[in-house]
Chains A and B, each alone.
Chain A
Amino acid sequence: MRTSTREKTGFIIKFIILVIFAITCIYPLIWLVLNSFKTNDQLFENPWGLPKSFDIKNYIVAITEGNIGTYFINSVIIAVSAVLVTVVLSSMASYAISRMEWKYSKVMLNVFLLGMMIPVYATIIPLFSIFNRIGILNTHLSVIIPHIAFGFPMAIFILTGFFQTIPRDIEEAAVMDGCSIFRIFFRIIMPISKPSVVTVAVVVFIGVWNDLLMPQIFLTDATKMTLPVGLNSFKGMYSTDYVSMIAAVVLTVIPSVIIYIVLHKNIMEGMVAGAVKG
């Protein structure tokens, strides 16, 4: 069986390629975690090796002097509020679009989906001007609102896709029992749509958590900044204290990595579905 040996070598080569690429994906993260426990001198002497001890001093510096703690809390507040509002309002809109009977539902869907094409850059300056005028510039609201508005297209795309697959009988039975539309929606539809809702929630969360542009523009007060902006300014302020910077990066990345480990199925599905709208 000559082909089988050939196939075997082919297989081994492919496997090696995969392993190498997997290492390039993970190794930088491991490198960060390891070096976050070193001192600056150790980093220069020995950037490859293991740290001598697992000293959390750098994390303490990052949190106390670098304000990473404050940034972290701000990021959580902004991301969680944006996720909650986006999920609730986009589910309701998707429900009306996909399950209720009205003439313009299709048009409405297309108007929302159009938003997937819009780069935020085309709205940043007007938003800055509007927020300035209504006096919410430099508040968390100024970052939360545009994230909600730009979260809708993807969220509605995923949710309408799911709602269309729910059998009509469930709602019919509920109507027979005299349920109101709100009861049907919140008590029946939302619970059975949990996987899609979770997908929308994590994809929105990751987008907001990682965003640099909007907080950088709409927030000017250091006490209101989010992690990405904080990291960016940390880099300027302590540009020689590399190890504390590394600790700060680790603290920023950890939440997304944990969420990814737990919900990677939803995240992949959501990010890919939102992308491939055909």
Chain B
Amino acid sequence: MNKIFGNKKNIALFVLPAFIIYFIFALVPIAYNFYISLFQTDLMSPGKFVGFQNYVNLFKDGTFLKALKNNVFMVIGSLIAHLPVALFLGNILFQKIKGSHFFQTVFFLPSVICGVAVGMIWTFVYNSEFGLLNRILEVIGLGDLQQVWLSNKEIALFCIIIVVMWQFVGYHMVIQLAAMKNIPDSLYEAAKIDGASKWVQFRSITFPLIKHILKIDAVLIITGSLKYYDLVAVMTGGGPNHSTELMSTYMYYQGFRTLKYGYSAAIGVILLLLCVCAVWLSNRIFKSEPIEY
């Protein structure tokens, strides 16, 4: 056994191809990205070393701060939709309702659809001339609420957050539902004998026992919200007047539209730091204690 499974050459042959690709094209670029962020460069010539000037400029750049703020709204909107709402739906499906499997499959569906297509579908929904939303408002007699939804800079971001909620509610619901299904039935049987209502069962059994998954899910939601790109790129392109700009779209804009690669790389570094911080903080705050049923 040991001769085959401890053979250094075999191990290297199996693990190195993946590791080399991963190292060169995922790990090295992170360090290189930080390096580029210290330069003013067009990537063709060596560029000018500017130290942390790009970072200083970023925090003076009104549009970047706007993007950062929009990302924070995105995080809050997603947390609202993907924790309480998903939990509510998940809890209904958990109660062995008829067609539970069917509903679960349907709710999950939007999260596997291409973000560009989702963005376009919703552009049609929000379209001011033939869009579904304006038609619905007209039919139910709220015609004066009709809008040019995505061109109104007061509400465009809100419209996009709604789409994010819609697209990923099912995904988070399935994560939470999977955790609920791990809870042994005997607990609920005992509760039923004691005459506990559904709400009491949820509050004192389900919720405490899936709390650890909710914490992980919250991290996912936060890091996910920092990474949204497609929807905004398709629906508004960051406009009107940067009102829906996110860090990701602004990074694309600075890097590949105005060709300020160093500046753009600095945004990448900040995004990475925010993601790492979210994970690290959650690990610090919620030292997940192993649960026993």
Contact = CB atoms under 8 A, between A and B. Distances in A.
Contacts, number: 276
B6 A100 contact: yes
Nearest to A101: B6
Contact of B121 (A18, A32, A213): A32
A119 B267 CA distance: 12
Interface string B215-241: 011001001001101100110000000
A123 B7 contact: no
Contacts of A115: 22, 26
Task: Provide the main secondary structure of the chain A interface.
Answer: helix
Interface residues of A, number: 94
B120 interface: yes
Given A121-B251, A150-B26, A181-B7, A126 B120 contact: no
Interface in B131-181: 131-132, 135, 166, 170-171, 174-175, 178-179
A212 B229 contact: yes
Nearest to A176: B1
A271 B171 contact: yes
Interface in B240-271: 247-248, 251-252, 255-256, 261, 264-265, 267-269, 271
A125 B170 contact: no
Chain B interface size, under 10 / 10 to 19 / 20 to 34 / 35 or more: 35 or more
A245 B265 CA distance: 34
B116 interface: yes
Given A129-B36, A249-B121, A276 B114 contact: no
Interface in B37-77: 43
A78 interface: no
A163 to B, nearest CB: 12
A246 B120 CA distance: 8
A96 interface: yes
Contacts of B93: 18
B272 A119 contact: yes
Task: Provide the main secondary structure of the chain B interface.
Answer: helix
A50 interface: no
Contacts of A171: 1, 5
22 contacts: A15-B98, A32-B121, A44-B129, A92-B17, A115-B22, A126-B32, A127-B29, A128-B261, A129-B36, A130-B32, A184-B4, A227-B114, A227-B116, A231-B114, A246-B124, A249-B120, A252-B116, A256-B112, A271-B111, A272-B174, A276-B178, A276-B213
Interface of B: 1-2, 4-8, 10-11, 13-15, 17-19, 21-22, 24-30, 32-33, 36, 43, 89, 92-93, 95, 97-99, 103-117, 120-125, 129-132, 135, 166, 170-171, 174-175, 178-179, 198, 213, 216-217, 220, 223, 226-227, 229-230, 233-234, 247-248, 251-252, 255-256, 261, 264-265, 267-269, 271-272, 275-276, 279, 288
Interface of A: 10-11, 14-15, 17-18, 21-22, 24-26, 28-29, 31-32, 35, 43-44, 47-48, 89-90, 92-93, 95-97, 99-102, 108, 111-112, 115, 117-130, 132, 145-146, 148-150, 152, 156, 171-172, 175, 180-181, 184-185, 206, 209-210, 212-213, 216-217, 227-228, 231-232, 235, 242, 245-246, 249, 252-253, 256-257, 260, 264, 267-268, 271-272, 275-278
